[in-house]
Amino acid sequence: MECCSLVRTLVHRYCAGEEDWVDSRTVYVGHREPPPGAEAYIPQRYPDNRIVSSKYTFWNFVPKNLFEQFRRVANFYFLIIFLVQLIIDTPTSPVTSGLPLFFVITVTAIKQGYEDWLRHKADNAMNQCPVHFVQHGRLVRKQSRKLRVGDIVLVKEDETFPCDLIFLSSSRADGTCHVTTASLDGESSHKTHYAVQDTKGFHSEEDIDSLHATIECEQPQPDLYKFVGRINVYNDQNDPVVRPLGSENLLLRGATLKNTEKIFGVAIYTGMETKMALNYQSKSQKRSAVEKSMNTFLIVYLCILISKALVNTVLKYVWQSTPFQDEPWYSRKTEAERQRSLFLRAFTDFLAFMVLFNYIIPVSMYVTVEMQKFLGSYFITWDNEMFDEELGEGPLVNTSDLNEELGQVEYVFTDKTGTLTENNMEFRECCVEGRVCAPHAVCNGQALPDASATDMIDASPGASGREREELFFRALCLCHTIQVKDDEEVDGPQKSPDSGKRSAYISSSPDEVALVEGIQRFGFTYLRLKDNYMELLNRDNDVERFELLEILSFDSVRRRMSVIVKSAAGEIYLFCKGADSSIFPRVIEGKVDQIRSRVERNAVEGLRTLCVAYKRLVPEEYEGICKLLQAARVALQDRDKKLAEVYEQIETDLVLLGATAVEDRLQEKAADTIEALQKAGIKVWVLTGDKMETAAATCYACKLFRRNTQLLEVTTKRLEEHSLHDVLFELSKTVLRCSASLTRDNFSGLSADMQDYGLIIDGAALSLIMKPREDGSSSNYRELFLDICRNCSAVLCCRMAPLQKAQIVKLIKFSKEHPITLAIGDGANDVSMILEAHVGIGVIGKEGRQAARNSDYAIPKFKHLKKMLLVHGHFYYIRISELVQYFFYKNVCFIFPQFLYQFFCGFSQQTLYDTAYLTLYNISFTSLPILLYSLMEQHVAMDTLKRDPALYRDIAKNALLRWRAFIYWTLLGLFDALVFFFGAYFMFENTTVTSNGQVFGNWTFGTLVFTVMVFTVTLKLALDTHYWTWINHFVIWGSLLFYVVFSLLWGGVVWPFLSYQRMYYVFIQLLSSGPAWLAIVLLVTVSLLPDVLKKVLCRQLWPSAIERVQTRNQCLSVEQPTVFMLSQTSSSLTF
């Protein structure tokens, strides 16, 4: 019998045609085997409940950390150079490459090791916390890490769930519990979860231990808001009772139990399989345009390095081709050296030259860039102007890798509701049977004082009309998912349904709260849900009770929700509420034309509209619905799809009752922000799920569309009259006529007298554009659509599903111009486009924290985007672009004299600089000034950047890191290197420069070149600095002073740990020479002169917008003290 049962179970699981059981798991509640003959017991192994967030262990830290660090190209490159220096005879000491590399690797390892130690500490604290298990009918206390799948757990109020649990029973009679998930998704509001219907009566340890059940559910996956499963409850050897399990039955690890004394649950996912642990993994890494430019420049310099080494190697053997040229009398070769292969000697020399010139690629640049990004990100979080007093929160930086990308944005894709608008709904009116009813204004449960009675715009209804009207209000009272809670149970903002009652409405949707609050003014008040009965107070102050039979939940695809309720008289109703586009096609009766007209009028005014319909169900019809719903709900595979199909069958043949209108006010300064972004040359697209009329009205209100904007439509309504091909080609001809003027407009700012276009497209039309054509190609329509969009000043995409929002962003992101895109939204439906865009920004709004949690940056309000881009983004880009170019410039200055020196030393690989100078040039002498510059530079005042958004255009399209700018910096470095080397060479050739007639040697010559170089590159940065503080002065002049003091000590003291000191007394001898002082001053001046002349000429002849603003500000700063002095003089003359 047991064998047959096992075979039957295996065949059912692996050979069933309907479902693929590989993606499911079976959990035995309390580890109790199923009854004999019911189902074969198949033991399964699951991980324990230990959480491991650390990357390393004590044993693998060193090898694993080194492996990860040397995966970076720069670190690996310097490791190879260091090994070459160890293996062959090279002109420089291995210390010159090894010490900087060791410093970078050690600092990084210490930082990562400390962070991992903190993670180990947190893991141990979490894994060792006590948990109460139910074992043999009594409570047992164990450590959390010992919890296993199938264990029954007791959790008390204010405790955190130790793993993912299926909710079995609660201390509440109705089998509910309240949970906060702030540590998971940042939402502090209470969520209601429901126990399994057949187990909610088990309140004691003995009762719950007697439970005989198995759970079948999906394998672990990271989506916090999705769960599919079913529970089989065995009673008295009969067939098991099968109940569906969804996210409302799942209690997640990390969430906290609130306002409930205790609950029992069975562990379903443990340890690293919990949803919280699966969400530890980071999002896909985004790379900024600056980082890509930096990597390209590194490749160019690597090619230059190889070319230098190759040229020197070839010239060395050309020079040595003359007899005895390669073997002077003071350096005779041994016989073994003469017998060595020519190829081997040449290859060794090539590697030696590579080592000599390898400093052209600076290892410290990576460290400096990372420090600049990390420290610079704090300027956003510290910005008090971006702090919101109402929320009590400021901006958040989830990644610092994209700071400079904020200064390169070309397209902004924004959600409407909650992003451009406040998501703070105000009930305005309802239309019942074509009759408009407008209460005095209600906002968040507060009646405004300007009216005191309901304004019935149309005449009073007849008897049948009154019956429909009351049915409409009952529908709004019942068709929702609102929870009513006592004030003392509610954390945060409270929405009282009645000023005389100590209760509050809580819902994840502000629309639902606004509607339920609004209809109170018509005499209908929703009271509560108790024992599966919904109670409401009617106009006669009588309490009506409706049994809640089913809830057909809202989703963004159906765009509607329904409830099935049973009245006290036994009548069964289905009430449906949703968008007009999803309700009207399902209506067979009602005053459709009148209500549709009112809905369209309200939409044009920018109001959010919903339609309400119903139908009566006979008991037989309801029984059929129950069977369909049960079959779909217990499915483990494609449950959502099957439920959607059932909902489509149920929600048909409706009777239209009426429509509602609520207002979602525009956020403060949203219009100013969009106007500033457009002046900055940024194109703004609005992507929303709302209907076209409502969204268009909002776009006019926020100045995305203007009075002279000609709207072009690619909508379902228009495509019913014309083909997609004809519509797109007609629009293309229209916009291309004015493309020249629009191009000028794009560069000169928005102009009132020029015709500009706005495009409106809906989700259905977009699907047709994105759909591949019959011949297999889809690019034609896409390119045509993109051409139209490029010539429109603004685009509105309405009726968009979340996935379509991401498709739009991806379409623009990968177009031929490859523009930098930014997506901003506040809800879970915006996460896909936030992750798709180059930069994702979440608004900390009222639709939860999913958007803020998945974004790169989070801001409290849309208005803060203006400063985020125009000020912070501008500064970040200016600073890091100067940092990157300056690093390459100063290393060209550093290495090119070394290259020139080889022509004067027989290509013998003799170094021009001392080992200490080679090692410390990038680490100490020139690193701090550029780091401070990249953190603090403000080439233009913040107020000026906010006041003049057009300045953002000057840095657009990676302007400061283009090839032209890169070549200029490189040529400037080459010119300065030529001045350093040949200036010193010609000034002191065959010349006595000391008082005792001694001439300079090669180390003195190299030190002179190095001194001029350090002063030149540091003063070059000082000339580029516009924003001076005491920190800048301290670091710039302190770095020069440090170099002088170090050189005096390095060459003026006999160091016992050195076997020889070739720099002994060299620097002191150099400074004792008057001509050397003159040479330093003269060469530094000549080196800086071209850059100064270029700046002066460009400012006078071809000034950029930023340079014009700088000149104007300088003139104002000079004029103000002059005017003050003149006023003081005139006042003294009057006396």
Catalytic positions, please? 415
639 SS3 class: helix
109 SS3 class: helix
Strands in 942-1054 per DSSP E: none
- CA-to-CA distance for 991 and 471, rounded, in angstroms? 108
Please check whether residue 361 is in contact with residue 298, taking contact to mean a CB–CB distance below 8 angstroms.
Answer: yes
Q: What letter would DSSP give residue 873?
A: I
Please check whether residue 587 is in contact with residue 654, taking contact to mean a CB–CB distance below 8 angstroms.
Answer: yes
The enclosing H or E element of 548 equals strand 543-552
Instruction: List the structure tokens of 779.
Output: 């690019």
293 SS3 class: helix
Q: What letter would DSSP give residue 411?
A: E
Cα within 13 Å of Cα(1052), Cβ side: 11
- CA-to-CA distance for 231 and 26, rounded, in angstroms? 10
- CA-to-CA distance for 730 and 1123, rounded, in angstroms? 61
Give exposure, 944-957, as e/b (b: 16+ Cβ within 10 Å). Answer: bbeebbbbbbbbbe
Q: For residue 257, give every residue at least 6 positions away whose Cβ sits within 8 Å of its Cβ, in sequence order, or none.
A: 155, 156, 157, 158, 159, 160, 161, 177, 178, 179, 251, 263
To 10 degrees, the CA torsion angle through 511, 513, 515, 519?
-170
DSSP string, 510-526: HHHHHHHHHGGGGT-EE
Cα within 13 Å of Cα(98), Cβ side: 9
Name the packing angle between helices 342-357 and 874-901 (round to 10°).
140
Residue 441: alpha-carbon gap to chain centroid = 38
Please check whether residue 112 is in contact with residue 96, taking contact to mean a CB–CB distance below 8 angstroms.
Answer: no
The enclosing H or E element of 936 equals helix 927-936
Please check whether residue 194 is in contact with residue 167, taking contact to mean a CB–CB distance below 8 angstroms.
Answer: yes
Please check whether residue 168 is in contact with residue 152, taking contact to mean a CB–CB distance below 8 angstroms.
Answer: yes
Beta strands 164-170; 250-251: pairing state: antiparallel
- CA-to-CA distance for 126 and 115, rounded, in angstroms? 17
Q: Please calculate the CA angle 342-344-348 and round it to the nearest 5 degrees.
A: 115
Beta strands 683-687; 794-798: pairing state: parallel
Compute the Cα dihedral for 1085, 1088, 1091, 1092 and give only its sign: negative
Please check whether residue 364 is in contact with residue 925, taking contact to mean a CB–CB distance below 8 angstroms.
Answer: no
Give the CA distances from residue 14 to residues 22, 228, 230, in Å, rounded to whole numbers and listed in that order. 7, 19, 18
- For residue 641, count CB atoms less than 10 angstroms from its CB and return exposed for 0-12, middle for 13-18, buried for 19 or more: exposed
Beta strands 839-843; 821-825: pairing state: parallel
What single-letter amino acid sits at 569?
Answer: A
- CA-to-CA distance for 932 and 1085, rounded, in angstroms? 24
Nearest Cα residue to 525 out of 503, 497, 551: 497
Compute the Cα dihedral for 968, 973, 974, 976 and give only its sign: positive
Please check whether residue 164 is in contact with residue 274, taking contact to mean a CB–CB distance below 8 angstroms.
Answer: yes
